[in-house]
Structure formats: structure tokens, C-alpha cells
Amino acid sequence: MREYKELYIGGRWMAPATDRRIEVVSPHSEQPVGRTPEASTEDVDRAVDAARQAFDGGEWSRTPPEERLAAVQRFADAYNARQAELAELLTTEMGSPLWFSQVGQVGATSMALADFLTAGQNVAWEERRPGSFGADVVVRREPAGVVGIITPWNVPHFVTLAKLVPALIAGCTVVLKPPPEAPLSALALAEILDEAGLPEGVVSVLPAGREVGEHLVTHPGVDKIAFTGSTAAGRRIASLCGQDLRRVTLELGGKSAAIILDDADLGQTVQNLQMASLLNSGQACIAQTRILASRRRYDEVVDGLAAMVGGLTVGDPMDASNYIGPLVAKRQQDRVRDYIGLGESEGARVVVGGGGMPDGLDTGWYVRPTVFADVDNDMRIAREEIFGPVLAVIPYDDEDDAVRIANDSEYGLAGSVWTSDVDHGLDVARRVRTGTLGINQYLMNFTAPFGGFKASGIGREFGPEGIEAYTELKSIALPLG
């Protein structure tokens, strides 16, 4: 049982304003595994005041970039030293399979930290350009100010540091509101931030629910909001930020299409789709859950996916041999099961999986990994983000039809093309309206911008663009001759 009694406010451990607590329950055993304070709006006010003072009157925003990078390097070193512990904590807290906590959560976070540190060394913080009237202009990138960060539960460290680290490199101060489903791992991050020795006021960590998050979004002391979560919540946040013209970055939902061309190596494709489509038990916005196969090879693709999914081990996420773990909460289990029932009622055919608990399990928030065939792209299971291990196999007539179906979605976050002709696959990828794609794989690249088209978000993370998102541009015209 892991318990925290204080919140991390302005770089100090402090008693919360109320006695409300978050009880953390294991998605596998359904038993309590931890407890933390639940932050209140009063705690947000204290944190924003500290961040505002640190930004306006402190030294952090004016600290040379190389010193800010050195502080982030200290954080990265401390984070890397605790990787094994952090992976187990994430699995305990939100049910992520241990293999994914090790590789796709903590391991990916460590890689992203290294890439941000490299990118931060190459940002042009100030440059001098020839002006229109004969005198030079100085163009500066300055920190955006106080940043409110709101993160989801599915990959909490990875998503948090995709925002926190570039904000710190840019010279911003931060108030982080992690979700109530993952408060233990959030306060473990606060311990590491404390060890890194950031100046007072620069970072606060306040686990809480939506009401407190909305208070942070609308707080007059906040200059920018960075959010990852559902499209519905993103729309709400965008509308609130729009009222005050507050800067906002939104990384939202997805319903990504994997286009399998007829010349693809089907065995290799199915093997790689196991990761691309079912990572983190399907609880990933980038998951390739619409599988597009030509009518000529449709049955072959369905059979291959059914064999792969049907062979996955499901169970205790602490057992590294289990590929699929539980979903994060009972409500998520109910949601995914409802979608499986909906797919059947819409006329799709369950090839493997379906409703009910996986064999051998009688507790935990599990669902059976499921493959639907005979899916039309107008069905809700093909249009709405399910956020669980459910795949929909959709037939297409020809390549143009495949691109049309892939683009026939309100989302545009990720996607993939599977082919033996990489150059041709690249041509097809250029026609798909999504922010990121892969050829014969889908892996996020932390040196390149990540984000979505359409309802999948606003703005970009990672790469130099991810740091620049936390800056404002200033132009200073020098005197005329």
C-alpha cells in the first residue's frame, strides 16, 4: 500500500487544503493499492500563485537555456535510476501490462527525455534578420508563461513529460493536474522533480478530477493550457480557452486506419499490428483499430488477425508473459463491452473474442480481445473511439477506396500503410489526412512533431516543434541607418 499525505505545490511538499483523498484500486485484483490527497481549487490557486511569482519575479524564465537543460538532465538521470520501480508502480496503479509499462511507458519516456534534451540544444532562442527598411530585426523565442498541464491515465508519465519537459526547457513554470486514476505515479514524478532541484515555484503536481481541472483551465493566472484526453473534453477546454484567448495545445482522440495493400507480407503485417493495434490493452489514442483490407485478400487478413488476437495471453499485468491486462476502471470495462454488443447489433461478425470475461478470470476489469469482420465504415464501432482491445476489419475495393475510407473519419491522429513497396506506401501515406503515419509499422518518433488533424487536436508535441509550442515570438526592430 503506497500512501502520500501531501501535495507538491510550488516545489515544496505541503498539506492539502482539504481532507479529501483518492483511493487507488488495482484494476486486476479490485483491491486498494494506494492513497493520495485529492487537490482542491484552493490548492490550484496556491500553485498558480507560486508559478506566477516564480515566472514574473523569479529567475527561471531568465535562466540561460543551457542551465535549464542541465536541470532537466538532472531530472532525466533521477528518472532513469528509478525505471524498474516506476514501471511496477504504473502497472499496479492502472493495470498496464508490465511489458508495456517497461517498454512503452517508462522506456519510451526515457527515450523522449533524451531527444528533448538534444532538441533543446538546437533551438534558435534569438536570431538576427535583415529588416525590410535597411535595419536588422531581432527575433526572440521567449517562454509562454505559466502553463497548466492536464493529463490522462493511459500512459501518464509519457504524456506528462511530453508537455512538462519542453515547457521547462522553454523557461515556463508549470501546474500539473494528473488524473485521479493515476495519482501515485504522478506524485512519484514530483519526488523526482524535487530531487532535480528546480527553483521554488516552478512546478506543482495536483492529482484531482475534472472540476479542479476546469478551475485550472479558466484561472486568470495561467497563460497556456496543454491537454491530452478525449475529443469531447478537448472541445470544452478549447471553448473555455477561447473566451480568454488563452493559448492551448490539445492532443485528442483517434480512430486510426491501417491500410493493408495487396502486396503486403501478411504474416509480418499481422505480427507488427499486434503492437500497433493492441498496445496497452488497446488503451491508446494512436492504436490502429480500423484494419482496411482489399476484398481480394479480406478473408486471409481476417483469419490472420483472428489467429493473432486469439493467441494473446490475458491476465495479471504483473506477469510479463501476459500481453493484455485489465482496463483501468470498471466504467471502461462496461464501455468496451457495450461497444462489443453494439457491433454485434449493427451486423458486424465477431470472429474472435466477444463479450464476457476472458477464460480463467473472475475478478478484474478485463475484456476479451475482439476482432470484428464484415464491418462497414458507417458503423459506430468503426467511427467512435472504443479505447480497448477491439479491432474492426473493413473491406475496400481498390486503393482509392482505401484512402477514402481511411479519411472518412472525424479523427486524424495516426495511421499506417502496409506494403512490400515502401516508395509506393509513402505515396499512399501522403494522401491520408492524419498527423502521423508509419510504413509497415507504427511507432512514434520523438524527434518529429506529433499531433492530429481534424478532431484529433490542435498543435504539435515532440521534436523542436514541441519546445517551440511553449514559447512566444517577439520581434525587436533595430534603429534605421
Ranges of residues in the chain whose predicted pLDDT is under 50: none
pLDDT at 215: 98
Strand partners, 477: 137
Least Cα distance to 412 among 384, 381, 386, 433 occurs for: 433
Residues 168, 101: Cα–Cα separation, whole Å:
25
Helix (H, G, I), strand (E, B) or coil at 352: strand
C-alpha cell at 421: 513497396
Cβ–Cβ < 8 Å for 342, 381: yes
Q: What is the pTM of this model?
A: 0.97
**C-alpha 75: how far from its chain's center?**
20
- Note the pLDDT of residue 481: 74
pLDDT for res 279: 98
**Residue 233 pLDDT:** 97
Q: What is the CATH number of domain 256-445?
A: 3.40.309.10
Sequence-ordered list of residues with C-beta below 8 angstroms from that of 78, at least 6 positions apart, any chain = 192, 195, 196
Please list the active-site residues: 251, 285
Query: Boundaries of CATH 3.40.605.10 in the chain?
Result: 2-252+456-477
CB 204 within 8 A of CB 12: no
How big is the CA angle at 252 (ends 236 and 146), to the nearest 5 degrees?
65
Nearest by Cα to 253 from 403, 468, 458, 391: 458
121 close to 171: Cβ distance less than 8 angstroms = no
> How many whole angstroms separate alpha carbon 179 and alpha carbon 333?
18
pLDDT given at position 337: 98
C-alpha cell at 145: 508563461
d(CA 35, CA 20): 10
Q: Of 350, 281, 290, whose CA–CA distance to 98 is shortest?
A: 281
Give the pLDDT of residue 231.
97
DSSP strands (E only) in 105-236 = 126-130, 136-143, 146-150, 173-177, 203-205, 224-228
Residues of the chain with CATH 3.40.309.10: 256-445
From the candidate CATH numbers 3.40.605.10, 3.40.120.10, 3.60.60.10, 3.90.76.10, the one assigned to the domain spanning 2-252+456-477? 3.40.605.10
| CB proximity list for 201: less than 8 A, separation 6 or greater | 10, 11, 50, 51, 53, 54, 55, 58, 60, 173
CA distance 222 to 440: 42
The pLDDT assigned to 302 comes to 98
Distance CA(350)–CA(243), nearest Å, equals 46
Q: Are 60 and 173 in contact (CB under 8 A)?
A: yes
Give the pLDDT score at 299: 98
> Would you say how long the chain is, in residues?
481
| All three cell numbers of 276 | 500497433
